[in-house]
Amino acid sequence: MTGRLQGKVAVVTGSARGLGAAIARRFGAEGASVVVNYSSSKSAANEVVDDVIKTGGDAIAVQAKMGDPAEIERLFAEANRTYGQIDVLVNNAGVYDFQPLENISIELFRKHMELNVYGYLLAVKEVVKYMPTGGSIVNMSSTVTIFGPENASVYTASKGAIDGLTRALSNELAPRGIRVNAVKPGVVDTEGVEAGDFLHSDFGTNIRSRTPMGRLGVPDDIPPAVVYLASDESSWTTGEFIILAGGHR
């Protein structure tokens, strides 16, 4: 099925690589105009834009660091200047630096909270200036809040905060006809996960062996649920979470 996001304008944060890139490409194939946000991967972001255009959609790449209030403000103003409104926000940009308790520092804490939590809140604060009734916000949470991996307390706390802000903002924005939901992927083989060497360690082996579907995720496992939450098909769904993890808890 295509065209489920026809006529909608979507901002996908951190969509030069990984899950964000897979979501941006699928949004384009479903007819959305897509704002591909990146922080440093300019050429990768331009490739995603080209892919969206090749499938008949429209897209632009906009650089902005999603932990920086002035850059977040500029991203949404530019998206609105280009497309006239913003119907969908996918808060996806995120950092995961797994560290044991003894390595926790204020720098590690700030790194996660500034991007994964404050950045998500500020993005919502800015996007609602341009979002009409019927708008949809999808936050990228994680199953770490359910299975609680060791050596990942700061990252897990940041995703727990996302679950809380998803529920609170869903209530706050419902009177304006704006929905706020989240997806909770399990471990998905992305560039970031590869770089962190999660998959070839005990962590990866352990998760794989405890996943009923017998494999870890690939980026294309995630976009269909995000398309559903972004589209009008889910117009009576808000404050909810979709778990995509091959049955792993």
Ligand X SMILES: NC(=O)c1ccc[n+]([C@@H]2O[C@H](COP(=O)([O-])OP(=O)(O)OC[C@H]3O[C@@H](n4cnc5c(N)ncnc54)[C@H](OP(=O)(O)O)[C@@H]3O)[C@@H](O)[C@H]2O)c1
Which residue in the block uniquely carries the two structure tokens 């650089």?
Answer: 63
Q: Write the DSSP assignment of 180-238 as a string of letters.
A: EEEEEE--B--HHHHHTT-TTSHHHHHHHHT-TTSS-B-GGGSHHHHHHHHSGGGTT--
- Looking at the Cβ atoms of 134 and 146, the one nearer to ligand X is 146
The whole-angstrom separation of Cα 88 and Cα 213 is 31
Let me know: does 129 contact 172? Beta carbons within 8 Å: no
Our finding on whether 123 is near ligand X (CB under 6 A) is no
From residue 185 to residue 224, the character string flagging contacts with ligand X as x (rule: CB under 6 A) and all else as - is x-xx-xxxx-------------------------------
- Looking at the Cβ atoms of 140 and 225, the one nearer to ligand X is 140
SS3 159: helix
The span of 9-17, 26-34, 101-109, 164-172 binding ligand X (CB under 6 A) equals 9-17
Interface residue with ligand X, options 8, 20, 131, 229 (CB under 6 A) = 20
- Looking at the Cβ atoms of 156 and 231, the one nearer to ligand X is 156
Is residue 155 among the annotated active site residues?
yes
Instruction: Please name which of 189, 190, 169, 199 lies closest in space to residue 181, comparing C-alpha atoms.
Output: 169
The span of 53-61, 63-71, 130-138, 173-181 binding ligand X (CB under 6 A) equals 63-71
The single residue of 38, 96, 118, 155 carrying the catalytic annotation is 155
The whole-angstrom separation of Cα 54 and Cα 102 is 48
- Looking at the Cβ atoms of 1 and 70, the one nearer to ligand X is 70
Our finding on whether 27 is near ligand X (CB under 6 A) is no
Let me know: does 140 contact 91? Beta carbons within 8 Å: yes
Let me know: does 10 contact 31? Beta carbons within 8 Å: no
The span of 62-70, 76-84, 146-154, 166-174 binding ligand X (CB under 6 A) equals 62-70
Residue 214 buriedness (CB in 10 A; 0-12 / 13-18 / 19+): exposed
* Region 75-114 residues binding ligand X, contact defined as CB under 6 A: 92-96
Number of chain residues interacting with ligand X (CB under 6 A): 30
The binding site for ligand X (CB under 6 A) comprises 13-14, 16-20, 37-41, 65-67, 92-96, 115, 140, 142, 185, 187-188, 190-193
Catalytic positions: 155
